[in-house]
Every structure is written in C-alpha cells, then in structure tokens.
Homo-oligomer: A and B are copies of this chain.
C-alpha cells in the first residue's frame, strides 16, 4: 500500500473525479482546455509534507484524491490544525507568494496543481474560476467559524462526537448513502492528528473515544474502523441543536 499507481489518475479534465466540485466546476470546455495547459499532477505518500509554512509556493492546487491538513505551529511546539482538505478542496492563495500553513498529506494524496502566475491571469480573464473560488472560500469561512465554536466552547466529548459526525457525514456523502441509521467508516486521522484538530491532547482523545465506545455511541474494530449504530445518537453527543453543519 506504499503508493497508488499514478497512471490510474485521469489526466483528462472531462472525466476527473472532482470535475463538478472543484475550483474548475463552472468552467466551459474551452476554459478547461486552457486549464489543461497549466496543470500538472503531483503525488505524495501518507505522512509526507507538501509544503512548509513560509516557503515559497509557486502553485495553487486542488485535492484530487486523499486527505491533506493545514496546520499552524507555535514556537514552543503547540500545534493547531486549521483545515482538513478533502477531494475537490483548494490549496493555496492567489496573490500570495508563500504558504501560510504547513500542508501535510495524511493519506496518500494526489493534487492537481496549477502554476500560479497563469492561474492568476486566468482568474481575471475568466470569471467562472473566480466565482467558484469565492463560493468555495465562503464555505470554508463558514466551516472555520463552526470550528471556532467547537474549539472555544465544546467539551472534549462533544469535540470528539462532532469530528466523528463530520467524517461520517462526509463518508456517507462520498458513498452516496444517507447519513441515517448505521454507518461504518475508517478514521483518516491518528489520535494525535485528531487532538491537533480538536485542541486537545492525544490522551484525552483516546479516553473520550473509549468513553463513547463504553457508552455504546460507537463501536470499534481495531483502532481506526468505526461503527456508528445510531447516527442521531451521535449527533446528540455533539451538543449541536440541529442535525448538522455545512462542513460537507
């Protein structure tokens, strides 16, 4: 399971798996042709660093397959994950020369990269790209604000339940299943990565996962395979009033 076969990744935008969700979603075929000319694929193995905060970044990119994370680190080593990048999510900021966060591949990862300069030129010349990027950025801003509530006000147990609910919902979405009744999925994050996302320590994450298991909210097979027998029960544990959020 070291690395995927790169040849299996389509190089044709037409049948790209993220065609209708990524930054290129609204492009017409002629616009896609222009994008094809400035794009290239890059692959990373699980655990690899894509780029370090502060480094020069001469591309922007879409996640095609796999999961990446954005992380901030304080000088004394405290870390906070500030973004979880799923397929179709956008990496990088037009108009900024350097990376603002550490970007890391938590699973094997394939990204569709665009050279920054030509991409920025396309943004001004073809509104479809800028429009879609604005929409995606507004969604990310909502997600970040939802996460601020979690970080500032939720208990450890609620944080864990919230994270599991988000991953479960995303997974159900990818599998085109409704997020009701029993759900089964694999955690794409280690306990430490979960801790960095939730503003906790890995020990607290481990304890709360065990507690949710003990209370029958979730079942575990191995360390990473999660079974949620009753999704509504999990939602109750998140502390949220409604059944959701917009974190996909």
Contact = CB atoms under 8 A, between A and B. Distances in A.
Contact of A241 (B70, B75, B95): B75
Contacts of A138: 93, 137
A125 to B, nearest CB: 10
With a 10 A CB-CB cut-off, give which of A78, A145, A198, A199 has the most chain B CB atoms: A145
A74 B241 contact: yes
Q: Contact size class for A? A: 35 or more
A153 B80 contact: yes
A124 interface: yes
A133 B100 CA distance: 20
B95 A135 contact: yes
A133 B138 CA distance: 10
Contacts of A130: 127, 130-131, 134
Contacts of A95: 135
A19 interface: no
A83 B76 CA distance: 27
Interface string A112-136: 0000000000001001001101110
A213 interface: no
Given A93-B138, A141-B137, A149 B74 contact: yes
Interface string A5-39: 00000000000000000000000000000000000
A79 interface: yes
Contacts of A188: none
Interface of A: 70, 72, 74-76, 78-80, 82-83, 93, 95, 100-101, 124, 127, 130-131, 133-135, 137-138, 140-142, 144-149, 151-153, 198-199, 239-241
